[in-house]
Structure 1
Amino acid sequence: MNGLPTNWRVFDTPADVATHTVEQLRVLADQAIRARGRFTLVTAGGTTPQKCYELLAEQQADWANWHIYMGDERCLPKEDSERNSVSLHQAWLFFGHIPDKNIHVMPAELGPELAAKSYQATVDVIDRFDVVLLGMGEDGHTASLFPGHVYPEDISVVTEYHSPKPPPERISLSYERLGRSRHVFKLITGAGKREAVKQLLDGDDLPIQRVQGDETLVFIDSSAL
């Protein structure tokens, strides 16, 4: 499609976005494991990432060297169905391909402050993630970083006490920490995202625009344009 940035890739359907994302993840994982002995992936919540996880559950890969992290989490009880970690386990991690010691969930049941402090220690041993997956809300938010909200700089994990959508308390990797990645994939699907996409293309300062990795790609379906 004419007029789009060169790092945007347009697909017919959300399913096509998910399929392409998984194909890219597998290629990059193999490259990372050959080069550094491990592949570090930051996961995202949302419908399209969830489809990616369902596809990954059906794949064969060098799972023992995959290391899974989270971009954000809702401060809810550990088994609450609204938690990103629960959806992630149900779609993919439950099937046991990846060793438990390689799965690093956010302990958001501890509350924002303690959870953020704990997860900061977890991610600060990683110099640079291999891939960060990001979804985008209809307001342009990504992870639990919301438009108009101010977050501390020079810190890996931030707290959110006033999310526009429930639950109000969350923790999230910061803009800087999400951007410290070799590859950032932004997955945008659905007609409900059109206004935010227009704002993105107009150069508005949306949260998702603030995250830029060494390479940043946008995978979008045609209905979101």
Structure 2
Amino acid sequence: MQLTSYESASEMMQSLSVQITSQLSAAIALRGRACLAVPGGSTPGPLFDLLSQAELDWANVTVMLTDERWVPSDSARSNTGLIKNRLLVNAARAAQYIPLYAEGLDHVLGARTLSKQVAPNLPIEVVVLGMGADMHTASLFPGAPELSFAQNELADAVMPMVPVGSDLEPRVTLSARVLEMARQIHVLILGDEKKAALAQAETLSPIEAPIAQFLPNATVHWSPV
């Protein structure tokens, strides 16, 4: 694991935007296309704002989420709105977007359908992962009954998941296999609590701390605020 610390979130987002743009550009030059997978939530919003303006052959970039709540894409709970409003604008509007939602299906059948759409875009060139204080990443939650299936090396590209101990909606997530196969893995965290959780994750197994599976090949970006 490579840990890069920054003095501020702004500095971190600027640096990460430059790195991702360079990595995607190199992949397009080498292979003609590139896939970028990103998390939802509020933390990566400023990163999306910067990436949307990057000078990049966006027409040859496929964008997808690392995970998504199983709600319609126009729901306020869906992360698709965040992606469309903050990433797929400006220059990046030319990118192809694969939403992790299938209308008319439940999250289990939907995951199977989405796996077929995601598979042709693998391996992911650049994946950005977040991490919760419980050391989950994407929607790979410790203690979830589905976790061992999503971590299996034979898992489909997209797997169903239900957060543990909550009444939140079901989700789908890119499987651990798909995330681990990414050529470039960036983990984005803010604050001392997350840094402490990261240190703990390094001592635990992926079943106890799902983020642990990806740390050996990851660049972790951290700032205190």
Corresponding residue for 2:184? 183
Corresponding residue for 1:55? 50
- Residues 90 and 72 of structure 1: CA distance in aligned 2, closer, same or farther (over 3 Å): same
Encode CA deviations 1:3-45: one digit per residue, 9 max, x unaligned.
xx5x111111122221111010111111111100112111111
Structure 2 counterparts to residues 151-162 of structure 1, below 5 A: 151-152=148-149, 153=152, 154-155=154-155, 156-162=157-163
Corresponding residue for 2:201? 200
Whole-angstrom CA distance in 1 between matches of 2:166 and 2:20: 30
Which aligned segments of 4 or more residues in structure 1 are displaced greater than 4 angstroms?
163-166
Whole-angstrom CA distance in 1 between matches of 2:220 and 2:84: 25
Instruction: Kindly report the root-mean-square deviation, in angstroms, between the aligned alpha carbons of the 2 structures.
Output: 2.1
Q: Displacement of 1:164 after TM fit?
A: 4.4
* Paired AA for residue 196 in structure 1: A
- Contact residue 14 and residue 48 of structure 1 kept, 8 A: no
The secondary structure found in structure 2 opposite 1:107 is coil
Corresponding residue for 2:175? 174
Gaps of 5+ in 2: none
Encode CA deviations 1:154-193: one digit per residue, 9 max, x unaligned.
1121111344455230000111111111110011112342
User: Given the alignment of the two structures, is residue 68 of structure 1 paired with residue 71 of structure 2, yes or no?
Assistant: no
Q: Displacement of 1:195 after TM fit?
A: 3.7
Corresponding residue for 1:104? 98
User: Given the alignment of the two structures, is residue 28 of structure 1 paired with residue 31 of structure 2, yes or no?
Assistant: no
Name the TM-score, length of structure 1 as normaliser.
Answer: 0.86
Gaps of 5+ in 1: none
Structure 2 counterparts to residues 100-179 of structure 1, below 5 A: 102-107=96-101, 109=103, 110-149=105-144, 150-152=147-149, 153=152, 154-155=154-155, 156-164=157-165, 167-179=168-180
The secondary structure found in structure 2 opposite 1:151 is helix
The secondary structure found in structure 2 opposite 1:8 is strand
Whole-angstrom CA distance in 1 between matches of 2:35 and 2:3: 23
User: Given the alignment of the two structures, is residue 211 of structure 1 paired with residue 217 of structure 2, yes or no?
Assistant: no
* Paired AA for residue 179 in structure 2: L
Whole-angstrom CA distance in 1 between matches of 2:106 and 2:94: 26
Whole-angstrom CA distance in 1 between matches of 2:163 and 2:68: 14
- Residues 82 and 166 of structure 1: CA distance in aligned 2, closer, same or farther (over 3 Å): farther
Whole-angstrom CA distance in 2 between matches of 1:188 and 1:79: 27
- Residues 91 and 164 of structure 1: CA distance in aligned 2, closer, same or farther (over 3 Å): farther
- Contact residue 143 and residue 164 of structure 2 kept, 8 A: no
1:19 pairs with one of 4, 9, 14? 14
Larger CA deviation: 108-117 vs 153-162? 108-117
Whole-angstrom CA distance in 1 between matches of 2:191 and 2:38: 20
Aligned residues: 215
Q: Displacement of 1:151 after TM fit?
A: 3.2
